[in-house]
Structure formats: C-alpha cells, structure tokens
Amino acid sequence: MNIHPTAIIDSSAILGNDVEVGPFCIVEKDVVLGDGCQLASRAIIKEGTRLGKSNCVHEGAILGGLPQHIQLPETTGSLQIGNGNTFRENTTIHRGLQEKDQTIIGNNNLIMVGAHVGHDCHIGHHVVLINNVMIAGHVTIGDRAYVAGGAAVQQFRRIGQLAAVGGYARAVKDVPPFVTLDGYTSGVVGLNRVGLQRAGYKPNEITALKNAYRLIYRSGLPWKEILERLKVDFPSGPAADFYSFLADGKYGFMPERRTPASATIKLYREDGFEAEGEQSLTKVG
C-alpha cells in the first residue's frame, strides 16, 4: 500500500491490497477501495462509494458526490463500481438519490475527461464515455455502448448495448441497441457496424440485425405488428435483443434521420403521454 502523506483518509475506510493514494486525495467514511485501486492527486472518493479491483481514478475526479436534486433527502444512497474502470480527469459520478438507491458502474469502462454520470444511473461493461458527456439521472447504458464528446442523455432514458451516440447528440428518447445516432441531427443513421465488427459479431448475425433494423425503421408497419414480427422472426441471437429492448420502452425511441413518410414507431401514448400510441416519423435534417 502506498499512501501519500498529504492524503486524508477516514479511519473507517477500507483499503485493499496494493492500493495507491496520491497527493491531496480525500477518502471519506464508508468507502471501500478494492485491491489494486489507484487514486491520482486530488481525487475525491465520497461517502458510500465502493470500488472493486484495479480501478484507476485520475486527477480531480470526484466519485460518489451528492445527487443534484432540489429535494435532496437527509440520507442518500450509494455508488457501486466494479473492476478495471478508468475515470479520467475531473469526471463526476453521483450516488443514488434515496437511502437504498444505487448508482452502478460495471467493469472495464472508460469515462473520459469532464464526463458526468448522474444519480441512479446504471452503466454496463466496456462502455466508453468521451470528454464532457452529460448523463442525467436514472439513465441506463448497455454493454459496449459508445457516447461521443459533448453528447447529452435525458433522464430516465436508455442507451442499448453496442449503440454509438455521436458527438453533441441529444438523446431525448431511448436509443435502441446496435444503432448509430448522428451527432449533428440526433437521428438514427443505421447500425453501428464498426462496433459490431470489433465486438466479433459474425456476418450472419449482422445480417439478421440489418433485417431487424429495416423492419423497425423502414417497414411502415403499425408498431404492434413490428413488435410481433420481431418476436417471431428474430427469436434468438443478437437481433432478439431488439424485441426485448423495444417492448420495455416507456419514453419512445430516437427516430431515423431520413425515413419514408409511411414508417411508424411508437412515440406517444394515446392519452397524450409518451410511449403507447403510434406516430409517423418525419424526416429529421
């Protein structure tokens, strides 16, 4: 264990083997640092934060800060972090809002300079958040998703696995798995083919994903029929994830940037709230 003499570590904090804590770091009470964690200078680990093994926290990062909420409860939740994550300079991750709530960060994620993850978010594994990404509260991001610099994700929204969100995009609805969201228009522009290839997906799997994508965005079928077709035509493999993701949607889905006028996707409920009804997609951009 290598602890710099200027670091301030609460006596109740639990530090594993081979932990390194740099100059002017602060580790508050009720904190666990797993084996092999490294804190660079001025890193702050707040109350209720638990890090697994081999996490690297760079200069000025703050993990487990209080949620940004007008009605902040007297006792807030916690931040749970897995193994092998990298938090670059000045990143901020907030803990859960209510006492039993958790913000959860999985394994092997790269969260770059100035990125923010709000309270009660669930981040999967091998996720990349580029500089200055803004993730609001209660957001879920699937495994191997990629969110480029300056992009913003609205609260309670979901980013599906292996989705790629372009720089400065505004994800105001759910982003389905495997697709690419254009940063300029915030419209869906097809599958994340580069990500799929890098993840080792087979040609037949990519073909099935392409066919499912066309069914969702370009068939012009009513939404309920799209879901039924997805369930029947793609019962297994990666393409089956489209059905499970879309069937659980509550806030609608990001539309395609350019799409036939007849294509439909569930955007709003019939009672005026988002999600249940059908609305034709119009061209964006």
Contact in structure between 87 and 111 (CB atoms under 8 Å): yes
Q: Where are the alpha helices (DSSP H) in the chain?
A: 193-198, 203-218, 223-233, 240-247
Contact in structure between 79 and 51 (CB atoms under 8 Å): no
Whether 277 shows a pLDDT value over 60: the answer reads no
The reported pLDDT for the residue numbered 281 is: 37
Give the pLDDT mean for 29-50: 98
Q: Which amino acid is at 254?
A: M
Catalytic position from the list 58, 94, 116, 119: 119
The pair of structure tokens assigned to 60 is: 């000025």
> 42 Cβ partners below 8 Å, 6+ apart?
22, 23, 24, 25, 59, 60
Catalytic position from the list 52, 114, 137, 195: 137
182 catalytically annotated: no
pLDDT bin (cut points 50, 70, 90) of residue 282 is very low
Give the pLDDT mean for 131-148: 98
Domains plus CATH for the chain? 2-138 (2.160.10.10), 202-280 (1.20.1180)
Sign of CA dihedral 23, 54, 28, 74: positive
Task: Kindly report, residue by residue over 75-84, the tens digit of the pLDDT.
Answer: 999 999 999 9
With tokens 């029929």, the residue in question is: 225
174 catalytically annotated: no
Q: What value, to the nearest 5°, has the Cα angle with vertex 122 and ends 284 and 229? A: 50
120 catalytically annotated: yes
Contact in structure between 102 and 80 (CB atoms under 8 Å): yes
Contact in structure between 69 and 88 (CB atoms under 8 Å): no
Whether 170 shows a pLDDT value over 70: the answer reads yes
Whether 172 shows a pLDDT value over 60: the answer reads yes
Whether 86 shows a pLDDT value over 60: the answer reads yes
Catalytic position from the list 36, 52, 120, 195: 120
pLDDT bin (cut points 50, 70, 90) of residue 1 is confident
